[in-house]
């Protein structure tokens, strides 16, 4: 059962960058790679409280702005201390120039 919700214009997310999207009291991070693949994760770090969308994107990795824990945003995998719990990821699709996220 999919619950696709329109998040934003695809162009709003820069290449190799991340955008924050707030919906229903939750925050999501939407990523776009250099070759225009889109991904979405929870926007709150699994370590302490920080918005991942305030972090730094390099390739397919995002670094948390607070203690520099890194995640692979394609899988949510926690890559280095202090983060050890994976970020939750969500399916993404782009239709007619808009990003949709399956927020379930
Ligand atoms: Fe993200 Fe600590 S809050 S690494």
* CATH code assigned at 54: 2.102.10.10
Structural domain of residue 46, as residue ranges?
Answer: 4-102
> Are 34 and 47 within 8 A, CB to CB?
no
Q: How far is 65 from 51, CA to CA, in rounded Å?
A: 8
Number of domain units in the chain: 1
Q: Which atom belonging to ligand 1 lies closest to the Cα atom of 83?
A: 4
pLDDT at position 46 is 98
> Are 60 and 43 within 8 A, CB to CB?
no
Q: What is the mean pLDDT of each run of 10 residues along the chain (104 residues)?
A: 94 97 97 97 98 98 98 98 98 97 92
Evaluate: CB of 18 within 6 angstroms of ligand 1.
no
* Residue showing tokens 């730094």: 56
Evaluate: CB of 20 within 6 angstroms of ligand 1.
no
pLDDT at position 8 is 96
């Amino acid at each position: 059962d999919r619950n696709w919700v329109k998040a934003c214009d695809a162009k709003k997310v820069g290449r190799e960058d991340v955008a924050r999207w707030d919906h229903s009291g939750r925050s999501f991070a939407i990523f776009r790679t250099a070759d225009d693949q889109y991904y979405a994760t929870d926007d709150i770090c699994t370590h302490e409280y920080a918005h991942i969308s305030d972090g730094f994107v390099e390739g397919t990795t995002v670094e948390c702005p607070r203690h520099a824990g890194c995640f692979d945003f394609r899988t949510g995998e926690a890559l280095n201390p202090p983060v050890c719990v994976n970020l939750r990821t969500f399916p993404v699709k782009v239709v007619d120039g808009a990003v949709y996220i399956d927020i379930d």
